[in-house]
Structure 1
Amino acid sequence: MVREALESYTDMDEFFRATPMGVMYWFFQRREPFLAQKTMTKWSRDRIDDYVLLPATPGFVTRTECFFVSHFWHSSQDPDPGGKYLQLMQHDLEQQPWSFIWVDWSCVPQHPRSPEEEAYFTRVLQTMSAIIRNSGFMYFYPPFEPRLWILYEVAEQALTSVGVLPETPDYQPFIEHVREMERVSVRPTLERHGYRCTYDGDRDFLVSWLELLVLLKRLSIYVDDIRRMLDYQTWSPTLIAILHQTWNGQLVQIRRFEGVVE
């Protein structure tokens, strides 16, 4: 079915223009090109053979097969000049069994983008929470800077997982701030530590995602239930409300466009 759906597109621009009502596909870089590169490779139509397309539907992106890379951007022109952090990640990841990896610089069209690429880029942003939630998580951060994207990525991984990652010095400030959001709330924590985004528009949806994650966790809903609700929200972006009965019998409703959880 996946192959037939992809073969129905006549060219890349038609694929990028595909209606959001259809199945979303993510570019994942294959293991071999990732481990062979000397610096992070910018996404390009000329290197399509470096990728697989995985459908944004349950069961295709899994933690046994896929990794998500969380990293700082050191420059808008190149997030990792010289490949310093890439080499650290390659060293760790080549020791582990996996097949595909998602790095924003390498797996989604970057500036300058055509209108068709911009439409696809927007849909990736709207659904990338499911990539983080369903993939293994890899990171290497420089000395702490209050980057909101990094905090969100750490929160998405930590609050939708049963196990915990080792609290390395570069990871520790972010996970401590995730716990602070659980104790206090999201916005005061962001203000206290000066979290910022390069693009103001990103801040609005990142804060809303963080608030939903923290609220579900504070309601003591099981992680499996949180994952199911959030995945369903990703797979069904037009639903006004999501109704879910948890393992312990709670009935939870998310009215997404009102920002209400009952």
Structure 2
Amino acid sequence: MPQVPRNEAQDWYFRRMLRTIPLLVQDCAFEWRFPTFEPRAWILFEVASWLLNHKVSQWLTDDMVQFALHIEEMVRGDGVIPTLEKYGYRCTNSSDLRLVTGWLEILVILHKILPELQVRQETLDKIYHPSVGTYWNPDLGLKVDKNDGTIVHNQIVYQFTPVFRLTS
């Protein structure tokens, strides 16, 4: 994805591809190095997607540790929004923060309610498609509504920041 500064064509491409980032990140392995920690929300999402949806037996690089600790806080019950606010997470485009927040909340909820890794990955593969607003799996007792920001699992309702809007 082209980063800032972008020309007009790159900006158009970036906006179009923004909806597909979760699908792209889902199965990617990556490595990077940052000289100092910066609370960047998209990076947190990338690390969370990797840590919460893969069998992680490899090492964490020094620059991933802070992100991993913040993900741990979100999962153990502090929640996504309080963790983002506590550490001042941001996006270059401030409007992206709502989208990243929703995707992180979905990851955390599904990590808690779908403990089997393969089931969670298959579910995310389905709901990550930008054209899917609602996903229903009666075998799992699971309904995800990306427009309303709800996950219903075995009649228990979980809320997240909506990530799908027909009007956007």
Q: Considering the TM-score relative to the shorter chain, is it more than 0.5?
A: yes
- Whether 1:112 and 2:7 are equivalent positions in the alignment is yes
Shift of 1:122: 1.8
Provide the rounded CA distance (Å) in 2 between the counterparts of 1:242 and 1:112.
36
Corresponding residue for 2:102? 208
Provide the rounded CA distance (Å) in 2 between the counterparts of 1:139 and 1:129.
18
- Contact kept? 1:242, 1:253, Cα under 8 Å: yes
Corresponding residue for 1:198? 92
Corresponding residue for 2:17? 124
- Contact kept? 2:39, 2:87, Cα under 8 Å: yes
Change (3 A) 1:208 1:231: same
Shift of 1:110: 6.2
Corresponding residue for 1:188? 82
The count of residues paired between Structure 1 and Structure 2 equals 151
Corresponding residue for 1:25? none
Give the aligned residue type for 1:144. F
Give the number of the structure whose alpha-carbon radius of gyration is greater: 1
- Whether 1:159 and 2:52 are equivalent positions in the alignment is yes
Provide the rounded CA distance (Å) in 1 between the counterparts of 2:25 and 2:57.
14
How much identity, in percent, do the aligned residues show? Answer: 30
Q: Which runs of 5+ in 1 are unaligned?
A: 1-103
Give the aligned residue type for 2:98. D
Give the aligned residue type for 2:55. V
TM-score, normalised by the number of residues in structure 1: 0.53
TM-score, normalised by the number of residues in structure 2: 0.80
What is the DSSP-based 3-state SS (H/G/I as helix, E as strand, rest coil) of the residue aligned with 1:138? coil
Corresponding residue for 2:124? 230
- Whether 1:169 and 2:62 are equivalent positions in the alignment is yes
Shift of 1:238: 2.9
Provide the rounded CA distance (Å) in 2 between the counterparts of 1:205 and 1:211.
10
Corresponding residue for 1:252? 142
Provide the rounded CA distance (Å) in 2 between the counterparts of 1:118 and 1:197.
15
Corresponding residue for 1:12? none
Q: Which runs of 5+ in 2 are unaligned?
A: 153-168
- Contact kept? 1:109, 1:121, Cα under 8 Å: no
